[in-house]
Amino acid sequence: MHGYKYLLISTACSLIFSTQLHAAIAPDAASINVKQSCGTEDNCFEDMSVLSDWIHNTRLPSASAPLTVDIGPGSFSGYNCNNSGYTTLRGAGRSSTRLIQAGNKAAVVVTECEKLSFQDMTISGSGNTAIGIDWSGRGNSTYSNIELSAKGSFTSFAWGDHDINGNVCSASDEKSEHFFFGSTIKAEGGFYNNAYYTFCAVTWIYGSEIITIADNSGATGNVATNAGFRVQGDGVQIQVFGSRVTSRSGTGTITNTPTPGLGLVGATVSDGGTFHMHGGIIGVIADNPAINTPASGVTVYGSTSKVHIIDTAFNVKATGNAAAYRIWNYGGDSIVNTPFLWSAGSMPPVGNNNGDYVISETGQDMYVETDCLANGDCNSTGVETHIMVYNQNCSVDGAWFDTTTGRCRGDLGN
């Protein structure tokens, strides 16, 4: 009898131990956990690549059966989504949950996925070529409270999208669509840096910051480009609301004139791309006074390209005798709608340490000069206020037209 009781107790203990030792993954689980150590917890993964395989080969999320993935504190290898989606990946906070990747691989790689969502985490790439998220083809995604970053010694882009073959989209190609809320998108690195590099998407960004900082420490020679946004392709769009765009030369040496794809710029737009920004600030700052570094708030190129910037502040500073452009319509035939009122003062807005004036687009900029005389002499001690409008045809004393005298600023007439 005692032996029989001992057998029952031993069998029960063995069953309990066995159940705890072999945790189960339900093939139709509505939610899954990712932890650094799952122990014997059911529906839990310790490896993001194993999770990705399970999602795409077993779980197969859909519109009617979406999946939520809760990712705990710690650093985890990158995530892949291939022709799937309907998945929400939810972290424990930017400072707690990190999806990371190095060695010229993106931290998140996506190919044509639908309804993909990331929340409350950091997504970061590093290496010689550093990539945060690499998106191919169509699909859509949403990001809330995300820090998306890339820090590379040669090339860095926190976000990059393109067509399924890695190219710029044509007008007829279906664009992917993406939404960012309260997030940070940041690229730091050497030769070639773009925080948000878009070739085939329509993107909406709300209450976020986009930051690019150059660094010569790991690169050979000068930095080619340092841009918050690169928007390239027919029908490719960026829509930014109430956000901050910062591009700084940092420790980098940037001497390229800010033509499309080159130089120190806030946003560069070309090949039929569109850049909209409403509210916020675009700051493009050259940091090293010993180097002549040109700076451009927005550079646009191509007859079908468009920039539309309303109620947005600008802070554009070049160094030495290099030029500072608020808006540069490179080629002169792009569509530009960026009215801007500079602060009133006794001089036109200054763009570099030498006191040279900011360059812009005819009819887009205005300021009130406060020290003019009746004859139009505004380099004086007058007390009249004259409204000045930017006009590239004026060259007497800066490209400004005095609407009070009906002459270019500095032209005193006969």
- 325-367 pLDDT, tens digit per residue, is 999 999 999 999 999 999 999 999 999 989 999 999 999 999 9
Distances in Å between the Cα of 407 and the Cα atoms of 9, 355, 395, 410 are: 102, 23, 11, 8
- Predicted TM-score (pTM) of the model is 0.91
pLDDT at residue 218, as a whole number: 59
| CB distance 182 to 206 below 8 Å | yes
- 5 membership: H or E segment, kind and range: helix 2-21
| CB distance 339 to 362 below 8 Å | no
327 — phi, psi (to 5°)?
Answer: -125, 130
Torsion angle, alpha carbons of 322, 327, 329, 330, to 10: 30
pLDDT at residue 102, as a whole number: 75
Euclidean distance between the first and final Cα of the chain, in Å? Answer: 126
Q: Which residues contact 175 (CB under 8 A, 6 or more apart)?
A: 138, 169, 200, 201, 202, 235, 236, 237
| 313-317 vs 274-285, strand pairing mode | parallel
Which band of pLDDT confidence, cut at 50, 70 and 90, is reported for residue 8? very low
Which of 385, 380, 384, 414 lies closest to 397 in space, CA to CA? 380
Q: Count the neighbouring beta carbons within 10 Å of the beta carbon of residue 81.
A: 23
Assigned token pair, 204: 């909406």
pLDDT at residue 2, as a whole number: 46
The mean per-residue pLDDT over the stretch 30-46 comes to 96
Which band of pLDDT confidence, cut at 50, 70 and 90, is reported for residue 196? very high
Strand intervals (E) in 64-175: 67-71, 74-77, 79-82, 85-90, 97-101, 106-111, 114-136, 140-162
User: Range with the lowest mean pLDDT among 16-25, 328-337, 400-409?
Assistant: 16-25
- 127-173 pLDDT, tens digit per residue, is 989 999 999 999 999 999 999 999 998 999 999 999 999 999 999 99
pLDDT at residue 397, as a whole number: 82
